[in-house]
Chains A and B, each alone.
Chain A
Amino acid sequence: MSGASIPIRTVFSARRVRGTGSKALLFTLECALGVLSVVLLGAFAHWLQWLLPIAVLLFLLIVVPTALLCGFWQAVIVSLSAVLVQSFFTAHQASFNPAADPANSITLLAFVFTALVVSRLSARVTEHAREAESWGGQMRDLYEFTRRTLQMNLHDEPGAQLAELVHEIFALEAVVVFDADLHQTYQAGFWDSDPKELAQNIYYFETSDDDAEAGIGRRVVRLGTVPIGSLVVRGDTSPLTNNAIASLIAITFDRYRAFANESRIETERRTEQLRATVLDSLAHAYKTPLTAIRAASTGLGEMGRLSPAQAELVSLIDEQTGLLSELTTRLLTTARLDAGEVTVHAVPVGVGSLIDEVVASLRDRLASMKVSIELPEDSLVLSCDRQLMTMLLSQYIDNACKYSIFGTTITVRAERAKSEVIFSVHSFGPVVPMADRERIFDRYYRSTNSSNRSAGTGIGLSVAKRVAVVHGGYVWVTSGEDEGTTFYAAIPAPIRKKESR
């Protein structure tokens, strides 16, 4: 920083030594020039005799500009020379003792006084100008800092970049920035000792101050009133600049958090979307070959003329194609459910018709099963998303179908319990081990008991759980050798008067 108005620390640099030398030279030059002009003017006045009485006034013409342009001491020397020249020409003798001639003394005094006043005034104006220039410089630096922080790469942690920027732009000796959120300190420039603790203490004790002696500024970086880090600088700055830097750092930290958060959410969303799209197109791509296989195998069966063994094989192909088709359909539904934010389009749904429809849609799978529907309250109405609830019940019934012992009955039940409607699907099959009863609802989790005996993707029950959760409900399972296995889903249903139309 070129013109720091309030130097906090004086650094005796080589440049300053050189500056002092040239200043002395300049001082001598200015004095010599002033004295020369005084002597020339005196000689000129003496030559034109009539000018002599007002020569004193003319000397002022030299003293005043000297005071204005060069300074007080130069003006004093010029004044002294003017008094000498004046007394030399008026009395034809150079008096080294101003007291010998009172008139000379008074002239000298007037000259010195004029020099003092003029030089003070001039110095003040110059000082103001320098100050203004220095402020301008600081503003320029702050502006540059703001611009650079706005252009900063927010993909990386901002602390290191900020420390470097402050160090570079404000030409400081050393900088340290502490990011409380990431619990990291970043330093730039040279520190005698490790400034980590210093920066962290400022954050913990929330002390902002300026130590002019040591040339150190300490700032707590706050967002609003909340401390989010700290800043320590060593070098030529002003407290106001330090405040501004701290504020800019706070804003950058905040922008980084927002950006990081946003990009994390965006990445997650994209990954999910990509996965869903891949699954979607895969499932669609499977449909064509499946259709061709099914048409071919059922076509063979319809055309007849097959031996019993051939017919058996053809029906096996058909059956397995059906399974594969079910699987792709389920993948597709799951992909859709995962693809985005699931929104619940709640409408009043007749629980009875819902269950009927689900059972009807699973007719092919349930052909060889006995299904009983229990509905204590026949006209039970629940406000829910029909499509999602269909998925939940389909998963439960399908699951029961897959694991139940042949010939046993699957019972689908729905009843009101206080402010919930509880759906349950009961079947007799292998007991779900206690350890699996929570995890069975996790995606891709398959019970160790079941992995080698039945087809499944391990996706189904996680979908059921998801559906219940988006409705504000929950799922659980009970299982025992004698009582069989029952999957439950409780969906909140505020009690209200029955609607009738």
Chain B
Amino acid sequence: MNQPAIRVLVVDDEAAIRRALRPPLVELGFHVTEASRGEEALQLLHAGSFDVVLLDINMPGIGGIETLRRIRAFAPRLPVLMVTVREGEEEKVEALEQGADDYVTKPFSIRELIARIRTAHRRVHAPARAEDAPIEIGEIRLTPTRRSVTKRGQIVHLTRKEFDILHCLMSRAGRVVTYAKLLTAVWGADCREEVEYLRTFVRQLRKKIEDDPSSPIYLLTDVYVGYRFADAQMLQEESLAAEVVSEREEETSERAAS
């Protein structure tokens, strides 16, 4: 990558986590600045400029959510990734509603973290895309003007609502869209609680666009939070991981055979 280094502000009250994050991030070409509190992070953000903020939710002092709210007050487009624990579904949803770009769940792998940071950074720097420009991700192509979806060139027949859901998710590819946001976008604010209803539609949608609906690669679930349409990067990694798995399987079967 010959782009300038991405400047990351890591905000976490745990020194051990900051210590573990710094070497690999620096090694992989990021500029890393650390803060141990939300208040400190805000000062640093006012003083210098950063490309991405990695923000822990559970911190003493003003905490992650309030820090996020204050960041959004002066930097509405600055990519912010929240760091949460698996049980904190409500926190995740709240952070997303407060304008966080995404989240990673403890304990996360560096690969996952870097992928999320790059996705968030890319999104901000991507050239503005026309609202009704066709979207192509993997083998799926969605044309808003004609309201058509094709997979490997074959037309996929979708109902009106299925198309709206897919459009909403694909136009935010790589990012999680909360149930409430998706429901509001497709059915209106009155229906924002009807998650079960949404699940039924997503299930139908998966049957139409996924090769294996029970292990989807495009339309992914963020349990208790929302849905996420994979972006090109994620698909690439997915196919890499799949290769590794199949390699391993082959190895094992070979071993078993011998």
A-to-B contact residues, CB < 8 Å: 284, 287-296, 298-303, 318, 321-322, 325, 329, 332-333, 347-350, 352-353, 356-357, 359-361, 363, 367-368, 371-373, 386-387, 390, 406-407, 501
**Contacting pair B110 A407 (CB below 8 A):** no
The answer to whether B235 has its CB under 8 Å from any CB of chain A is no
**Contacting pair A287 B107 (CB below 8 A):** yes
**Contacting pair A295 B215 (CB below 8 A):** no
Chain B residues within an 8 Å CB radius of A501: 197
A111 to B28, CA, bound (A): 132
| B219-240 interface bits toward A, Cβ cutoff 8 Å, 1 = contact, 0 = none | 0110110000000000000000
The verdict on A288 contacting B27 (CB below 8 Å), with A295-B107, A353-B203, A356-B206 known, is no
Q: Which has the most chain B C-beta neighbours within 10 Å: A299, A318, A349, A356?
A: A299
A175 to B215, CA, bound (A): 79
The answer to whether B160 has its CB under 8 Å from any CB of chain A is no
Chain B residues within an 8 Å CB radius of A363: 215
The verdict on A298 contacting B200 (CB below 8 Å), with A356-B213, A361-B223, A368-B248 known, is no
**Contacting pair A350 B107 (CB below 8 A):** no
**Contacting pair A295 B203 (CB below 8 A):** no
Report the 10 A-B pairs with minimum CB-CB distance, sorted nearest first.
A299-B24, A294-B107, A298-B109, A295-B20, A353-B199, A292-B16, A291-B107, A298-B110, A296-B20, A291-B106
**Contacting pair A360 B106 (CB below 8 A):** no
**Contacting pair A300 B24 (CB below 8 A):** yes
**Contacting pair A356 B214 (CB below 8 A):** yes
Chain A residues within an 8 Å CB radius of B111: 298, 301-302
- Closest chain-A Cβ to B28's Cβ sits at a distance in Å of 6
- Identify whether the interface residues of A are mostly helix, strand, loop, or mixed: helix
Chain A residues within an 8 Å CB radius of B113: 295
Chain A residues within an 8 Å CB radius of B258: none
Nearest A residue to B86 by beta-carbon distance?
A329
Q: What are 19 sample pairs from A and B whose C-beta atoms fall under 8 A apart?
A: A287-B85, A291-B20, A291-B106, A294-B108, A295-B17, A295-B21, A295-B110, A296-B20, A299-B21, A299-B27, A303-B23, A303-B27, A353-B199, A357-B223, A360-B223, A361-B221, A373-B214, A387-B224, A407-B253
The verdict on A291 contacting B17 (CB below 8 Å), with A302-B114, A361-B221 known, is yes
A347 to B21, CA, bound (A): 42
New contact pairs (10) apart from A302-B114, A357-B199, CB-CB < 8 Å = A288-B14, A291-B107, A298-B24, A298-B111, A302-B24, A302-B110, A356-B203, A368-B249, A390-B223, A407-B253
The verdict on A350 contacting B199 (CB below 8 Å), with A284-B85, A371-B214 known, is yes
The answer to whether B60 has its CB under 8 Å from any CB of chain A is no
A287 to B85, CA, bound (A): 8
- Closest chain-A Cβ to B217's Cβ sits at a distance in Å of 11
- Closest chain-A Cβ to B55's Cβ sits at a distance in Å of 14
**Contacting pair A360 B221 (CB below 8 A):** yes
How many chain B residues touch A (Cβ–Cβ < 8 Å)?
44
- Closest chain-A Cβ to B193's Cβ sits at a distance in Å of 10
**Contacting pair A288 B16 (CB below 8 A):** yes
Interface residues of B in 163-203 (CB under 8 A from A): 196-197, 199-200, 202-203
A407 to B248, CA, bound (A): 12
Q: Which has the most chain B C-beta neighbours within 10 Å: A287, A386, A387?
A: A287
**Contacting pair A325 B223 (CB below 8 A):** no
| B105-132 interface bits toward A, Cβ cutoff 8 Å, 1 = contact, 0 = none | 0111111011000000000000000000
Chain A residues within an 8 Å CB radius of B221: 356-357, 360-361
- Identify whether the interface residues of B are mostly helix, strand, loop, or mixed: helix
**Contacting pair B203 A321 (CB below 8 A):** no
A117 to B168, CA, bound (A): 113
Tally of contacts, chain A with chain B, CB under 8 A: 117
The answer to whether B245 has its CB under 8 Å from any CB of chain A is yes
- Closest chain-B Cβ to A140's Cβ sits at a distance in Å of 63
- Closest chain-A Cβ to B224's Cβ sits at a distance in Å of 8
B213, B216, B245: the one within 8 Å of A367 (CB): B245
**Contacting pair B196 A349 (CB below 8 A):** yes
A231 to B196, CA, bound (A): 65
A303, A352, A368: the one within 8 Å of B24 (CB): A303
The answer to whether B49 has its CB under 8 Å from any CB of chain A is no
A359 to B212, CA, bound (A): 12
**Contacting pair A302 B28 (CB below 8 A):** yes
A361 to B196, CA, bound (A): 17
The answer to whether B143 has its CB under 8 Å from any CB of chain A is no
The answer to whether B148 has its CB under 8 Å from any CB of chain A is no
The verdict on A289 contacting B16 (CB below 8 Å), with A298-B110, A303-B23 known, is yes
Chain A residues within an 8 Å CB radius of B197: 501
Chain A residues within an 8 Å CB radius of B199: 350, 353, 357
The answer to whether B87 has its CB under 8 Å from any CB of chain A is yes
A347, A353, A359, A390: the one within 8 Å of B215 (CB): A359
Chain B residues within an 8 Å CB radius of A407: 252-253, 256
A341 to B206, CA, bound (A): 37
**Contacting pair B106 A290 (CB below 8 A):** yes
The verdict on A295 contacting B24 (CB below 8 Å), with A287-B85, A353-B199, A360-B216 known, is yes
The answer to whether B19 has its CB under 8 Å from any CB of chain A is yes
Chain A residues within an 8 Å CB radius of B87: 329, 332-333
The verdict on A360 contacting B20 (CB below 8 Å), with A298-B111, A407-B253 known, is no
Chain A residues within an 8 Å CB radius of B202: 353
- Closest chain-A Cβ to B85's Cβ sits at a distance in Å of 5
Chain B residues within an 8 Å CB radius of A356: 203, 206, 213-214, 221
Chain A residues within an 8 Å CB radius of B114: 302
**Contacting pair A347 B196 (CB below 8 A):** yes
- Closest chain-A Cβ to B46's Cβ sits at a distance in Å of 28
Chain A residues within an 8 Å CB radius of B27: 299, 302-303
A357 to B202, CA, bound (A): 11
Nearest B residue to A289 by beta-carbon distance?
B16
**Contacting pair A348 B196 (CB below 8 A):** yes
Chain B residues within an 8 Å CB radius of A347: 196
- Closest chain-A Cβ to B89's Cβ sits at a distance in Å of 10
Chain A residues within an 8 Å CB radius of B110: 295, 298-299, 301-302
- Closest chain-A Cβ to B141's Cβ sits at a distance in Å of 24
A294 to B25, CA, bound (A): 14
**Contacting pair A299 B107 (CB below 8 A):** no
